[in-house]
Structure 1
Amino acid sequence: MKRPWSRPYSLVRLLRARLWLAALFGPGALQGMLLYAGLVGFVGGLGAFGFTRLINVFAHLLTGQSGDLVHTARGFDWQHRLLVPVLGSFAAGVVMTLGMRLAHGRSSPDFMEAIVLKDGIIAPRPVLVRCTSSLLSIASGGSMGREGPMVQLSAMLASWVGRLVRMPTPRRRLLVACGVAAGIASAYKAPIAGSLFVAEIVLGSIAMESFGPLVFAAVIATLTNRQLLHLTQLPESTPLYAFAGVSLHSNWETIPYILLGLCAGGLAPFFLRLLRLSSAFFQSLGLPTALRLAAGGVVVGTISIRHPEVWGNGQSVVTSLLHESWAYDALFITLICKLLATAATVGSGAVGGVFTPTLFVGATLGLLFEKCYHLLFPGLLLDPRAYALVGMGCFLAATTHAPLMAIIMLFEMTLDYDLVLPLMLGCVTAYYTAYGIDRRSIYTEQVEQKRAAQRNRMRAVCVADILETAPSAVFETAVFLEVAKIFARTQQNHLYVIDEARRLRGIISLTDIREYLNDPELAQLVYAYDIVNERFPVVTPEMSLPDAARQFTKVAGERLPVINSPTTRTLVGSISKTDLLLTLAHDGAAGD
């Protein structure tokens, strides 16, 4: 007897649309990953914008003014210059202490740890506590960058999105990495550099499976931030350091840029050692968190009595260096004071970044180099701004051991192509010089610690680690209408066919049902076992990831079924090609 196949018009139309999309884009989850990366970029851009506005709010509460912190400090008497950093740092320490108690003892979040070891999961409460503490430290004149908490906030929001949509672990890790790229892009309006930072330093791979979503998130975050600045009628500087272009007056001028790279590369390891020594010193004091941060504030406040330029991340001072003429002694004293203030702020345990202070040191170093070189060769026509900018890139490349990221970041900050050639020479020279002196970068300890643990884990990684349970399946006796309905309500392009004992019989692809959509007479006679493809590659939970990758080469599909063993063939789940490639690219880079 024939079974009814009414061929509902809406169901047929939906299945035809899915067939058309599958033929147009091909099977795969990477295209969908771009959509989630864009969502993370949008959310990260919102978070970064909100954090920046909150800094002004907290600054007004602590100082009575909002805006540039250096300008605020210059307007204070010496008592306020001393007390504001101390009280703000103490309050930041109190927030850290009480907040971590409210977080029920959860450890401090780390986006690198979340990406490498913790399956892309970042608890929101500790992040919010640290961001609030950072707001107090930054708003009270702490000598550090705001990019650190902005990145943590964006990464936390990305982790929340990944958990909300129940994303598999490899894709959730990539989503957190997209959040990091979005945070850096929002802080510096440098989407390419933000993507390269994550690829070079965090992931250790520029494989397109991961780099494409990073770029997508960074660009969306930059556009979101720019649009919010426009809507709120706030001043927007695009690029970050905008001024009339600089140019090389002679090809011989490349020589001093190489020498500048040597100087920056030689000094960068000592800057990093200063930060480590400062951290060790403050830890050795054995003070409670609030008093330890307040001690760092005492150092900053004391220095700022005579030199208020040490307040904040130094961005406004860098702008002044690029547009105004500074004397030798003022440059040198400001450099020393900023080094000490940054070491005290970071070493005391305040939550913040060191990117912008690093750029400050590089700019000052570049200007000092230009003045010394001009004394030796007074006949040469040198542009001080160019040496300040190249110095920024050189010192950044030397401290991070990421010269490509440093070159691109400085280009995006200025959009001056004439700087690219000297930047390339100087940054590469600085990197090799610093690496020859000390192989540790500012992130080496974090990255190596986490990747060492990951290499141990990778020795045992197999299909079971990326297995997704409860795959879309249908019994072999199912009628065609039931098969069509399952395809219509899921996003899978393959449906697994099982018997009553859940043994895998084969698969039905979306394209296999095409010919029955327009033939109701034939569809009434079709069961699942009539259209099943029994010659389809399978994997087992114990199979290694490289072996599973070889199985994917046998079929043009996004997923493979996982069976318990070749003999019983019980269906236990499925694996995604996207998750497999992301795991191999990410974990394989860590093991190199």
Structure 2
Amino acid sequence: MWVRRLLHNDQLLLALLAVVVGVCTGGAVILLREGMDLIQALSYGSDTEYLGDLVRGLPWWQVILVPTAGGLIVGITLKFIMPNGRPQGVADVIESCAMHGSKMNLKAGLGAAVASALSVGVGGSVGREGPAVHLGATVGAWIAAKLHLTRSLSRTLLGCGVASAVAASFNAPLAGALFANEVVVGHYGLSAFAPIVISSVSGTMVSRAMYGDFPAFMIGEHPIGSALEFPAFAGLGVVCGLIAVAFLFSVRRVEMGMDGLSLPRWIRPALIGAVIGGIALFYPEVLGVGYGTTDKALNSQFPLQMLIILAAAKFVATALCLGGGFAGGVFSPSLVLGALVGGAYGAVAAGLYPELSAGGGAYVLVGMGAMASAILGAPISTTLIVFELTGDYALTMAVMIGAVMASVMIQQLHSRSFFHWQLSRRGLDLHGGFASALLRGQTVATVMTEQADVVPEALLLPGLRQALQQSSVGELFVIGNNDRLIGTVTLADMSEAAFDPSMDLLVNAGDTARRKPPVLCPTDDLERALKLMHDRGEETIAVVADRESMRFLGLARVCDVMAAYNRALIEARAEERA
């Protein structure tokens, strides 16, 4: 009896599924990381995190050849495996969660993992956490699809995969759980938060079983010298925010430059790889995820001049790789760039006010948190990562100040994050917050009614006047051949001539109709429908099969859209209180 009760307990089943997703994602992230290490070992002779030190001892031709040939393989892989031949990442996960019912393509998810492993393994200046997040989301979405779960539960399992991937990558379960809610899911519903935390912890346990309970970075003691340093930390946040804005513009300029060359998309990573190899001849620290470079910055092993040069080189290399078609994430590069910028800023601050500063290590951590916060749009998660890595409350407070300032700068000057900027360039605006997310989660098909007042195009004026008098909404939809929408007619659209009895046999509905009225398609989301109704001052809008055939299907009413929104809002609030 008790077993039967347990099997009918939805929360328990969801918790068990969260464990399954967490364990599977943790294993998948390990395979992804091992694949990257294997490709790096085959390419450079070692899987060391300190790739820059290794490359200094290699012949020049190998330094250029590996990223060039690797870029070619990446391009070919993307061409034949990925939709549209482009890399996929965190932005696609956010889009899936917000727009597509948390459904993800398994082939694309595995293909993205392979392309990312190749990109990182051959030295591309991209991160491995973004691909891990995409892979984790794919695992969660695939399990949800196989079990035919509801839209809400599918979103929860997708969030579980994301949380587990981040937690397994950084050995930081709290940050993983909050990253999934902050960046991907978009809100903190209590019924979803519990399984996401469970999955995050499960992924961490799998990672620790493989690699041990070690932090992602070798962080020593970095005390804060004085409370007067906090304004300097805020200033560092502003600097990181400005650099993050410049970084997004640079990625876009690289993309535009590649488009201007008219090269096939699959060739572009090879060209970029050759350039990256050329940079690596002088500054090999730009290659790969850069964790070794970050560790050196944390331990003050670079002089000020080298910090500035490496920051500029990493900035350029990452913009080239992301804009030129390499597959990978932006998390690791943002941490490396932030560490170098923070180290340089701290060196200057210590030189100006040596009596107030305890050293540059704290500035390196604040720079990492601030830069990652600005680029990822995740100030809470990045702050928690630092706390889980250091356990230092004062240092966490400093990171929080820098992260908030950097986030404010990039939101005021550019966009919410790198991922939302990518989505906005696809025509997807996800800036509306919780209310907009509820509207985007439903389509016009869910509120459309077929009970519309339609009249044939050839209907003469007497019949048209009678139909208007009997119309329930005061609007007629004029239909031509093959149910094609010709236009709409309201009493206000009819001229004085329409009431002249001498015109009764000369004018028909097609002559009177308002041509090219606003229309919606069944697949349009309710946010678009509500915006169109507001912009055009319409309370009812025709729904057509598509904008080419204009085949009339029914109509959408503003009252039905608002009713659907209210129902979704009640359900969401109930979910949060569950």
Q: 1:48 is aligned with what amino acid?
A: V
Matched, 1:63 2:47: no
Does structure 1 residue 249 correspond to structure 2 residue 212? no
Q: CA deviation at 1:437?
A: 2.5
Q: Aligned residue for 1:458?
A: 442
Alignment counterpart, residue 222 of structure 1, candidates 195, 198, 204: 204
Instruction: Please tell me whether residue 365 in structure 1 is matched to residue 341 in structure 2.
Output: yes
What is residue 134 of structure 1 aligned with on the other side?
116
Confirm or deny that 1:211 pairs with 2:199. Answer: no
Could you say if the C-alpha distance between residues 49 and 94 of structure 1 is closer, same or farther in structure 2, counting changes exceeding 3 Å? same
Q: Percent same amino acid among aligned pairs?
A: 29
The aligned counterpart of 1:183 is: 165
1:421 aligns with 2:403: no
Report the Cα offset of residue 134 of structure 1. 1.6
**Residue in 2 aligned with 1:47?**
28
Matches for 1:156-555 after TM superposition, within 5 Å: 156-230=138-212, 238-446=214-422, 449=428, 451=430, 455-456=439-440, 458=442, 460=444, 544=564, 546-547=566-567
In the superposition, relative to structure 1, how do residues 173 and 66 fare at CA in structure 2: closer, same or farther (>3 Å)? same
Task: Check whether the contact 1:205–1:585 (CA below 8 A) recurs between aligned residues.
Answer: no
1:154 is aligned, of 129, 136, 152, to 136
**Inter-partner Cα distance in structure 2 for 1:428 and 1:250:** 20
Aligned to 1:119: 101
After superposition, give the CA deviation of every residue in 1:298-334 in whole Å (9 maximum; x if it has no partner).
1110100111111101111000111243212111111
Partners of 1:226 and 1:354 lie apart in 2 by: 24
Q: Distance in 1 between matches of 2:292 and 2:324?
A: 24
Q: Distance in 1 between matches of 2:338 and 2:84?
A: 41
Q: For residue 188 of structure 2, give the secondary structure of its aligned residue in structure 1.
A: coil
- Using the size of structure 1 for normalisation, the TM-score is 0.71
- Asked if 1:87 corresponds to 2:87, the answer is no
User: Does structure 2 conserve the Cα–Cα contact (< 8 Å) formed by 1:120 and 1:173?
Assistant: yes
Residues 297 and 205 of structure 1, relative CA distance in 2, 3 Å threshold: same
Task: Write the letter of the residue equivalent to 2:210.
Answer: L
Cα RMSD (Å): 3.0
Query: Following the alignment from structure 1 to structure 2, what is the Cα–Cα distance between the partners of residues 154 and 582?
Result: 27
Give, in angstroms, the shift of residue 239 of structure 1: 2.1
Q: 1:156 to 1:247 in 2, by over 3 A?
A: same
> Which residue pairs with 1:572 in the alignment?
none
Corresponding letter in the other structure for 1:334: L
Cα shift at 1:29: 2.1
The more displaced of 215-224 and 127-136 is: 127-136
> After superposition, what is the alpha-carbon deviation per residue over 1:253-301, rounded to whole angstroms, capped at 9, x for unaligned?
2222122222222322112211222222223322123310101101110
Q: 1:392-427: per-residue Cα shift (whole Å, max 9, x none)?
A: 111122223322122112222333333112112222
Shift in alpha-carbon separation, 1:281–1:378, aligned structure 2, 3 A: same
| CA spacing shift, 1:357–1:52, aligned 2, 3 Å | same
1:28 deviates by 5.5
Residue identity matched to 1:181: A
Residues of 2 paired with 1:225 and 1:244: CA distance? 22
Distance 2:574 2:266 in 1: 41
Pick closer, same or farther for the CA change 1:78–1:34 going to 2, 3 Å: same
Structure 1 residues 324 and 298 mapped into 2: Cα distance closer, same or farther (>3 Å)? same
**Deviation of residue 120 (structure 1)?**
2.4
Within 1, Cα distance between the matches of 2:294 and 2:382?
A: 17
Question: Are 1:170 and 1:583, in contact at CA under 8 Å, matched by a contact in 2?
Answer: no
Structure 1 position 353, deviation (Å): 0.4
Q: Is the 8 A contact 1:181 1:194 kept in 2?
A: yes
Greater RCO structure (CA 8 Å; 6+ sep): 1
Q: Which residues of structure 1 form unaligned runs of 5+?
A: 1-13, 231-235, 465-541, 551-579, 587-592
Q: Deviations over 1:133-181 (max 9, x none)?
A: 2222111110010112212221111122112222222211221121112
Work out the CA distance in 2 between the residues paired with 1:49 and 1:582. 37
Return the match for 1:32 from 13, 37, 40.
Answer: 13
- TM-score normalized by the length of structure 2: 0.72
For the 8 Å contact 1:38–1:216, the answer to whether it is kept is: yes
How far residue 95 of structure 1 moved from its aligned partner, in angstroms, is 1.6
- Deviation for aligned residue 1:38: 1.4
Deviation, 1:463, is 10
Counterpart secondary structure, 1:305: helix
Shift in CA distance, 281/305, structure 1 to aligned 2, threshold 3 Å:
same
- Residue 479 of structure 1: aligned partner: none
Q: Secondary structure at the match of 1:176?
A: helix
Q: CA 1:229 to 1:167, structure 2 compared with 1: closer, same or farther past 3 Å?
A: same
SS at match of 2:205: helix
Gaps of 5+ in 2: 449-561
Measure the CA separation in 2 of the matches of 1:456 and 1:429. 30
Alignment partner, residue 144 of structure 1 = 126
1:457 Cα deviation after fit:
5.3
Q: Secondary structure at the match of 1:360?
A: helix
Residues 89, 297 of structure 1: 8 Å contact kept: yes
2:552 maps to which residue? none
Question: Cα gap change, 1:297/1:216 in structure 2, threshold over 3 Å: closer, same or farther?
Answer: same
Q: Secondary structure of 1:379's partner?
A: coil
**In 2, Cα distance between the equivalents of 1:438 and 1:302?**
31
